[in-house]
Amino acid sequence: MGVPLFPEVLQPQETSLQQPLPLATEGVLRYVWESRFGSMLIEVVDGVAYVNGGKVEPSTGAPPPPGAR
């Protein structure tokens, strides 16, 4: 992971020109997920999830059609 997470601010270990990201906003839950593929911002606003700004559609729960991968 390598990046320290604080309750309200994510600060990268390297020096950056970008300002620290505030994670506390009223009515919005924010999480930063660090993986080997990079950072991902997960937000939940009024029960709707967004990943990196894109809305996440809930699963229908139906199985995939035969032969689909």
Q: What is the pLDDT of residues 21-49, one digit of tens each?
A: 666 678 888 888 888 888 898 999 988 99
* Among 3-7, 10-14, 59-63, the range of highest mean pLDDT: 59-63
Q: Are strands 28-35 and 54-55 parallel, antiparallel or unpaired?
A: unpaired
Q: With contact defined as beta carbons under 8 Å apart, do 11 and 4 qualify?
A: yes
Closest residue by Cα to residue 53 from 35, 41, 61, 45? 41
Q: What is residue 49's predicted lDDT score, i.e. its pLDDT?
A: 92
Which helix (H) or strand (E) element contains residue 63?
none
Q: With contact defined as beta carbons under 8 Å apart, do 24 and 35 qualify?
A: no
